[in-house]
Amino acid sequence: MTTIPKRLKKEPLIEAIWQVQFEPAMDQPVGDLLPGILYAALRKDHPNLQLHRLPAADIPAHVALYDPNLRHIAKYRIEESGNPFLFQIGDRSVTLNCSKPYVGWNVFKSKTLALINILKESGLVPVPLRHSLRYLDLLNIEPAPDLSSFQLEIKIGGLDTHSKPLQMRIELPDKECLHVIQFATPAQVTLPDGLQSGSIVDIETFSINNPQSWQDVLEQLSQLHERSKHLFFEHIISQKTIVHLEPEY
């Protein structure tokens, strides 16, 4: 069994996301009320926050309700210049995003718990339907689309699939969790230090037990993190890649 590092000096993580999905507690779309509540609460610790109205805010609520591609789309974004955290709010979802440089699990978890408390106290968000942790990593140790950094083998009969462009999505159960894993190579992303290319692995982890209360969400949060972390280090990237990323134990 692979020993799980506490952190990587050469961190490949480019974004971490916690998302909660819910049905509003009232007829009026909460995506027009929650942004103000979150903005006021978050400004206590972040006085330079900015609230942005996104193009999706112009989509009529009844249209978004019946389109599965729009039901959980963000209508507003709250961010602070120079801060890796941002918040996105829709009528049926809220996300906490942390871009590069990643702050580490303890800080990310504390921000998530603070957000959960605001949502709970607002009275606008009843028991959530589901929540997830999502991690996006960019690996460019080998030139894309070389997949040598991953524990991944693709076979199609006798055809040569090594180092071929790839986009793949797979769902894997893991104890009380479900992982949705996506690979994309070659890929390009715009980061604070400029445009970078490589291979992206996108892991979103849910609990198979839908929460019955906010307390369930709190109890499941660490489990989602642990299972996602074990998946990444034990089954996604190779031991050689772990060594290259300079692990600390």
pLDDT at 160: 85
Of 94, 126, 158, the position where a domain reaches its end is 126
Q: For the chain, what is the domain count?
A: 2
pLDDT exceeds cutoff 70 at 216: yes
Q: Are residues 201 and 139 in the same domain?
A: yes
Between 57 and 168, where is the model more confident? 168
Nearest CA to 180 out of 152, 204, 201 is that of 204
Q: Are residues 121 and 143 in the same domain?
A: no
Q: What is the pairing mode between strands 177-191 and 194-207?
A: antiparallel
Q: Are residues 37 and 67 in the same domain?
A: yes
Q: How far apart are CA 197 and CA 50, in angstroms?
A: 30
pLDDT exceeds cutoff 90 at 196: yes
pTM: 0.93
Of 126, 157, 176, the position where a domain reaches its end is 126
Q: Are residues 144 and 235 in the same domain?
A: yes
pLDDT exceeds cutoff 70 at 111: yes
Between 72 and 169, where is the model more confident? 169
pLDDT exceeds cutoff 70 at 28: no
**Residue 145, domain extent:** 1-12+128-249
Residue 17 lies in a domain: no
Q: Are residues 136 and 244 in the same domain?
A: yes
Q: Are residues 204 and 227 in the same domain?
A: yes
| SS3 state at 218 | helix
Q: Are residues 145 and 214 in the same domain?
A: yes
pLDDT at 1: 62
Of 126, 154, 172, the position where a domain reaches its end is 126
